[in-house]
Chains A and B, each alone.
Chain A
Amino acid sequence: MTRQSLHIDWTACDGRGLCTELLGPLLVRDEWGYPRAAGYGSDVPIPSSFVAEARDAVALCPRLALTLQEVRAPARS
């Protein structure tokens, strides 16, 4: 099974906060405005209900810092 994962390129991201608006509770802004996903770093698994919003975030990020990647999900226990 493949799942979508959102990759954040920290060298490009400038904490503009578009993605945190679009990806609501999944991503939150830290105290400097940068996105944070609870429990994850640069690769955030995107549940299927959020894939459309993730696509919008990739398209609209003013710094082109986001990419959506397909990952073959290791069977998580």
Chain B
Amino acid sequence: MAEAFWALGRATGVVSLVLFTVTVLLGILTRSGRPALGLPRFAVTLVHRNVSLLATVLVIIHVASLLADPYAQLRLVDVVVPFLGTMKPFWLGLGTFAFDLVLALVITGLLRHRIGQPAFRFVHWFSYAMWPVAVLHTLGDGSDVGKSWLVLLLVLCVGSVLVSLAWRASATFVEYQHTRFEEARR
């Protein structure tokens, strides 16, 4: 039975990392304000939100199944308070930290209208911290890190985020930026 929880914990962990990667990519797409993948702009935001919710459900299963796995020696505090773990406390703590950030991101995302744009934006910047922390947690704690399929997957995730970050920082990122620059120059 412990074996099954462990397997479930590993699988949901990897899938949620992939989904959070897609969430970051879609968030950047949303911020660019462009229609993409054949979807109108409003649909890109909705897919961004829904993929992030799906990823969140998967990390919750990831955490719950490892809580149930006696070998992981996870306690309830380790779910929310980072760096107190019994096994590999540093790498586990990164996972806990990423999990706390996800909760903050999702709650403020869903309550955007309640808390207002400045607070939402402030918390949402932490998505750029959450994702690398989750990647490091995977690298430090993942039982499958030596396997080539996971290496390939991680390279794809990191590569795609780096490429989109470069795009995010480029001058032509926002739609109409060109027209707006021209206008400002006149």
Cβ of A70 < 8 Å from any Cβ of B?
no
Chain A positions 9 through 52: 1 when the CB is less than 8 Å from some CB of chain B, otherwise 0: 00010111110011000000001110000000000000000000
Cβ of B179 < 8 Å from any Cβ of A?
yes
Q: Is the interface of B mostly helix, strand, loop or mixed?
A: helix
Taken together as a complex, chains A and B put the C-alpha atoms of A18 and B41 apart, in Å, by 6
Cβ of A3 < 8 Å from any Cβ of B?
no
Cβ of B146 < 8 Å from any Cβ of A?
no
Q: Is the CB of B175 within 8 A of A62?
A: no
Taken together as a complex, chains A and B put the C-alpha atoms of A62 and B42 apart, in Å, by 9
Q: Which residues of B contact A71 (CB under 8 A)?
A: none
Pick the contact of A22: B30, B42, B120, B175 (CB < 8 A).
B42
Which of B60-68, B111-119, B130-138, B157-165 is the contact stretch? B111-119
Cβ of B126 < 8 Å from any Cβ of A?
no
Q: Is the CB of B117 within 8 A of A12?
A: yes
Q: Is the CB of B179 within 8 A of A31?
A: yes
Chain B positions 11 through 51: 1 when the CB is less than 8 Å from some CB of chain A, otherwise 0: 00000000000000000001101010000111001100000
Q: Is the CB of A18 within 8 A of B175?
A: no
Closest A residue to B115 by CB, please name it.
A64
In the complex, besides A21-B42, A57-B42, 13 extra interface pairs with C-beta distance below 8 angstroms are A15-B176, A18-B42, A21-B35, A21-B41, A33-B176, A60-B42, A60-B45, A60-B46, A62-B30, A62-B33, A62-B45, A64-B116, A64-B120
Closest 6 CB pairs of A and B: A33-B176, A16-B33, A18-B42, A64-B117, A21-B40, A18-B41
